[in-house]
Homo-oligomer: A and B are copies of this chain.
Amino acid sequence: MGTLGEHRNEVNLEKRGSFFRSFRSDLKETFLPDDPFRHLEHQSGCAAAGSLVKYFVPVLEWAPKYTLAKLQADLLAGITIASLAVPQGISYARLANLHPIVGLYSSFVPPLIYVVFGSSTNLAVGNTAAVSLFLGSVIGSEISPLESPELYKHMFFKAAFFTGIFEATLGIFRLGILVEFFSRSTITGFMGGTAIVVIMQQLKGVLGMRHFTTKTDVVSVLGSIISHREEWRWESAVFGTCLVILLLLCRHMRAKLPRLFWLPAIAPLLVVVLGGLFAYLIHAEDHGILIVGTVSKGLNPISISHLKFESKYHGVLLKAVLISGFLALSEGIAVGRSLATMKNEQVDGNKEMIAFGMMNIIGSCFSCYLTTGPFSRSAVNFHAGCKTAMSNVVMSMCIMVVLLFLAPLFKYTPLVALSAIIIVAMIGLIKFEEAHRLLKVDKFDFAICVAAFFGVIFFSMTVGLLASVGLSILRALLYVARPTTCKLGNIKGTEAYCDVEQYPDSVLFPNILILKLGSPIYYASAGYLRERILRWIEEEDAIARKGEVNLQYLILDMSGVTSIDNTGISMLAEIHRYVDRRAIKIALTNPRIEITEKLKSSKYLDLIGEQAVFLSVKEAVEACHFTEYKNELV
């Protein structure tokens, strides 16, 4: 192919630098995408060390700047979330078949740890419905909560301890990248499915039943409800329905009058208090309405001595730790991030993981089970106007007061009231509009969401999660295996070359085939790309022969290719041999720096000649025309 003499713009084919430099930069992009230490570089040793400590212990950063105005805001937010934390803590502990008091314990210690290490200003710490139900079903499958309640409870602390270590480890090694494989579609489907499953579980409480399955799928739960129908109590059902309606009314009023933001936050506590009063007055137990029973006063007992590791249960523990760890992290980080963007703040996912890890490790020594930053509580915290993580301390103090003085009052709380609270909280997690949006924009996303949803409903939470993440990974692999390639044409009156399918009016040259290669050109896609390119050449050849010209030039636009491997380069060499035998000349345009390096060291550029690499498609096309013109002269 002819060169254009002085008109030609040089393509940079130089190497980027040493292997170790580019390796270091790749590592940095992979594990430190947010480059958290970039401000340290301009500081002296001592100041840098100070910044580093502040980076890992954010409280040192914000506590000195804490003002009275912020305290006022945090006080209000803290009291608001405490009034939600008490009934939710109790309810979710029941969901895990734990004694309600464990739920209160778990809202006392972890927030105090989070406030030291956490970087989010909006997150409210506590136990969540999904994790509670998951842990209950996994641990319950090995240890019966009725037969050996102590062992069952200690397994929860153990799980929290190891999950904490797991979370902190991921954070320290900056493996936040793993959590990114839980897409929004997965979370939407999983949460929706979990909400349905949790609501089904509550039928036990609403119907006042005493026997129930430990499985979570809809078929088992419905079967269990029907087979024990002699336990159904209408009094309980009527009472429960009234409470659900009351809670929904509060939520509805808030939707009408936004300044009543505290109403849905306070409503669960109202339901607990009213329900307890009602149960006390009418002696509910005699009418088939089950109550919580004795709740003893006092702060968290120390549970560190129960963290012994028994090999008998290591399978269950491993499953519980891995899945609940990912669940808790992805919920906590997603909540933190989405609330932060509304305030134009940044949340460092890896730092959050360390904070979650620390609070669970320390929490598990004080009778707390797994906690994270739940959706509902954090959103209430945000809307109540919290300014810093201090609102968690306020909440924790409120819970302390409850534990020290008010706990026995919960004795008369009807189980049906807790079920009503859970049901209403869960209804908000089923997002039909979101699923509809997924369907409209991207069918594959919808499939990922549906897999999680039905997996959870009909099989188990583990199956739903794995199926959905598996589909997500399949999608990523399919993307790599089938890069999009298209034929380019010139947009009239410009120098731009675009997809001819998208711009059917673009100008084509009968003897030049211009292809924009997709990325990456890897082992997994090389075979496909070869077939696709050969097919294009064949088609183009047929068209050219109709116009009685020969296909003479193949221009490969490499501007979109960001990565290539040895198999990919061999494929390009194969294509070169193929077109060479048919007297078609090949040209590359605008290869990226990562590509030129490899094309050069693999000697591919020697094969096609460095003069066959152009800066833009326009220049390559001009060079083709120039060569033709020269040929005509000769």
Which residue of the partner chain B has the closest CB to A185?
B566
Chain A positions 546-584 with a Cβ under 8 Å from a chain B Cβ: 559-560, 562-567, 569-570, 574, 577-578, 581
**Interface presence of A288 (CB below 8 A):** no
CA distance A136 to B310 in the complex (A): 39
Whether the pair B477, A9 counts as a contact (CB closer than 8 A) is no
Whether the pair B534, A23 counts as a contact (CB closer than 8 A) is no
Whether the pair A567, B9 counts as a contact (CB closer than 8 A) is no
Whether the pair B481, A180 counts as a contact (CB closer than 8 A) is yes
Q: Mark A319-330, 1 if CB is under 8 A from B, else 0.
A: 000000000000
Contact of A518 among B346, B437, B562 (CB under 8 A): B562
Neighbouring B residues of A192 by C-beta, 8 Å:
none
Whether the pair A560, B519 counts as a contact (CB closer than 8 A) is yes
**Interface presence of A331 (CB below 8 A):** no
CA distance A30 to B527 in the complex (A): 12
How far, in Å, is A477 (CB) from chain B's closest CB?
A: 6
Whether the pair A442, B477 counts as a contact (CB closer than 8 A) is no
User: Could you say which of A16, A176, A480 has the most chain B C-beta atoms within 10 Å of its C-beta?
Assistant: A480
Which residue of the partner chain B has the closest CB to A616?
B496
Known: A477-B473, A498-B590, A559-B559. A491 touches B527 (CB 8 A): no
Neighbouring B residues of A476 by C-beta, 8 Å:
476-477, 480-481, 520, 522, 524
Known: A12-B503, A444-B565, A598-B441. A496 touches B590 (CB 8 A): yes
**Interface presence of A501 (CB below 8 A):** yes
Which residue of the partner chain B has the closest CB to A440?
B601
Whether the pair A482, B30 counts as a contact (CB closer than 8 A) is yes
**Interface presence of A495 (CB below 8 A):** yes
CA distance A438 to B518 in the complex (A): 23
**Interface presence of A254 (CB below 8 A):** no
How far, in Å, is A451 (CB) from chain B's closest CB?
A: 14
Whether the pair B502, A593 counts as a contact (CB closer than 8 A) is yes
Which residue of the partner chain B has the closest CB to A502?
B593
CA distance A415 to B352 in the complex (A): 65
Q: Mark A16-30, 1 if CB is under 8 A from B, else 0.
A: 100100010000011
**Interface presence of A264 (CB below 8 A):** no
User: Could you say which of A19, A29, A186, A518 has the most chain B C-beta atoms within 10 Å of its C-beta?
Assistant: A29
Whether the pair B592, A502 counts as a contact (CB closer than 8 A) is yes
**Interface presence of A228 (CB below 8 A):** no
How far, in Å, is A600 (CB) from chain B's closest CB?
A: 9
CA distance A574 to B153 in the complex (A): 42
Whether the pair B481, A566 counts as a contact (CB closer than 8 A) is no
**Interface presence of A305 (CB below 8 A):** no
**Interface presence of A177 (CB below 8 A):** yes
Neighbouring B residues of A527 by C-beta, 8 Å:
33, 176, 180, 337, 349
Neighbouring B residues of A574 by C-beta, 8 Å:
341
Whether the pair B483, A562 counts as a contact (CB closer than 8 A) is yes
Chain A positions 325-351 with a Cβ under 8 Å from a chain B Cβ: 337, 341, 344, 346, 349
How far, in Å, is A336 (CB) from chain B's closest CB?
A: 12
Neighbouring B residues of A62 by C-beta, 8 Å:
none
How far, in Å, is A234 (CB) from chain B's closest CB?
A: 45
Neighbouring B residues of A531 by C-beta, 8 Å:
33-34
Contact of A183 among B444, B565, B602 (CB under 8 A): B565
Neighbouring B residues of A482 by C-beta, 8 Å:
29-30, 33
Neighbouring B residues of A615 by C-beta, 8 Å:
491, 494, 496, 498
CA distance A570 to B519 in the complex (A): 23
CA distance A337 to B526 in the complex (A): 12
**Interface presence of A235 (CB below 8 A):** no
CA distance A231 to B123 in the complex (A): 73
Chain A positions 485-528 with a Cβ under 8 Å from a chain B Cβ: 486, 491, 493-496, 498-499, 501-503, 518-520, 522-528
Neighbouring B residues of A503 by C-beta, 8 Å:
12
Whether the pair A183, B442 counts as a contact (CB closer than 8 A) is no
Neighbouring B residues of A437 by C-beta, 8 Å:
566, 602
Neighbouring B residues of A590 by C-beta, 8 Å:
496, 498
**Interface presence of A142 (CB below 8 A):** no
Q: Mark A453-484, 1 if CB is under 8 A from B, else 0.
A: 00000000000000000001101111111111
**Interface presence of A167 (CB below 8 A):** no
Known: A9-B491, A477-B477, A527-B180. A577 touches B341 (CB 8 A): yes
Q: Mark A153-180, 1 if CB is under 8 A from B, else 0.
A: 0000000000000000000000011001
Which residue of the partner chain B has the closest CB to A529?
B33
CA distance A44 to B94 in the complex (A): 70
How far, in Å, is A40 (CB) from chain B's closest CB?
A: 15
**Interface presence of A445 (CB below 8 A):** yes
User: Could you say which of A12, A34, A483, A496 has the most chain B C-beta atoms within 10 Å of its C-beta?
Assistant: A496
27 A-B pairs within 8 Å (CB atoms) are namely A16-B502, A23-B443, A29-B528, A30-B478, A33-B528, A33-B531, A180-B525, A180-B526, A181-B523, A182-B523, A183-B567, A185-B523, A341-B577, A346-B534, A441-B601, A442-B564, A445-B566, A475-B522, A476-B481, A476-B520, A476-B522, A479-B563, A499-B593, A502-B592, A502-B593, A519-B519, A559-B559
